[in-house]
Structure 1
Amino acid sequence: MKLDLQSKSFGTRPVLGDLVLSVSPGERLAILGPSGIGKSTLLRILAGLDTNFRGNRSGSERLAPVFQEPVLLPWRNALANVTIPTGCPPGVAREWMARVGLAGHETKFPRQLSLGQQRRLSLARAFASDPQILLMDEPFASLDAETASRMIALTADLLDRTGAGLVIVTHDPAEAEALSARSVTLSGTPARLQKD
């Protein structure tokens, strides 16, 4: 996946400036920077969710997003929250739920799960889609330190096992380090990438 961005604006306000970014399956990249700098906007462009920019995005890799919030279907049980979005068979969904520590929770609804369990379910859903590159937007925000640490370790382990690549947006360099991700920082107005 490669992005050759010339500019991204919201109305007359420039957000992102000229930048080039490429990520291959198996590679791990962390995009750092303060809140409001444009990290999530950049991730949405990489995911193909935002096409209103000047420049070119190319690549045919299978992508799976993990958002800041779990974004689960509240009227469906946990198993269906994996099978419906990914189209994977129930057996595959159960395997991934077991890998993230949710075996036995298949029939529970999102409201019956803790926030940490909901985050693990969204991670199972992402990996069940067999991605070549995982796109994560501050996925450990609002978790207590112990739960966040467990989630980071789980994510690193799943990336190691599957060989999937990673692009993670975060404000915490320690997260990038724990995930063995190469870091770049967004800074300036409009924001551009600086290598760390």
Structure 2
Amino acid sequence: MRIELKGKSFAGHEVLGPLTLEIGRGQRVAVLGPSGIGKSTLLRIIAGLDEEFSGSLSGDDRLAVVFQEPTLLPWRRALENVTIPAGCDESAARDLMARVGLSGREEQFPRQMSLGQQRRLALARAFAARPDILLMDEPFASLDTETASRMIGLTSELLERSGAGLLLVTHDPGEPARLGARPVQLGGNPAVLRDQDNGTDT
């Protein structure tokens, strides 16, 4: 997956400036920056959810997205929240639910689960889609420290097992290191990417 962005504007206001980002299977990148800088906007463009931008997006990688909110189907049971969106069979869904610690909760509805459990279900759903690259938008925000730590560990384990790449959007500078992701900083007006390892724009 490669994006060559010339710019992104909202109501005439340029939010994102020229930037290039490339990521493939097995590679991990974390985009850091303060709230409102345009991190989620960049991720939505890469995910194909926002086509109103100037530039190009290329690559045939299979993508899956984990948002800050679980975005589950409230009228479907937990198992169906994995099988239906991901298009996988029940055996694969049950296996992934077990891997994220949700074995025995297959018949529960999202409202019967804690926020942490809902986040784990969303993580299982994403990996059930067998992505080449996992896109994560502030996935550990609003979780208590212990739950967030457990979620980061689960994510790292599933990435290792699947071989998928990772594009993480976060404001927490500690998360990239724990996930083995190369940190890049989004900043400026309009915002551009700066590689934290060498201080150069990307």
Smaller-chain TM-score range? over 0.9
TM-score normalised by length of structure 1: 0.99
Aligned to 1:138: 138
| 1:173 Cα offset (Å) | 1.1
Gaps of 5+ in 1: none
- SS in structure 2 of the partner of residue 48 of structure 1: coil
User: Which residue type is aligned with residue 10 of structure 1?
Assistant: F
1:97-135 per-position Cα deviation (integer Å, ceiling 9, x unaligned): 011010100000001001000000000000000000000
Aligned to 1:103: 103
1:74 and 1:146 map into 2 onto residues whose CA distance is 26
| 1:11 Cα offset (Å) | 1.2
Task: Report matched runs for 1:181-192 at 5 Å.
Answer: 181-192=181-192
1:52-81 per-position Cα deviation (integer Å, ceiling 9, x unaligned): 000000000000000010000001000000
Aligned to 1:59: 59
Gaps of 5+ in 2: 197-202
Aligned to 1:119: 119
Structure 1's consecutive aligned runs of 4 or more residues displaced over 4 angstroms after TM superposition are none
Aligned to 2:199: none
Task: Report matched runs for 1:8-157 at 5 Å.
Answer: 8-157=8-157
User: Which residue type is aligned with residue 157 of structure 1?
Assistant: E
TM-score normalised by length of structure 2: 0.96
1:20 and 1:129 map into 2 onto residues whose CA distance is 26
Aligned to 1:7: 7
1:13-34 per-position Cα deviation (integer Å, ceiling 9, x unaligned): 1100000000011000000000
2:8 and 2:56 map into 1 onto residues whose CA distance is 12
1:90 and 1:156 map into 2 onto residues whose CA distance is 24
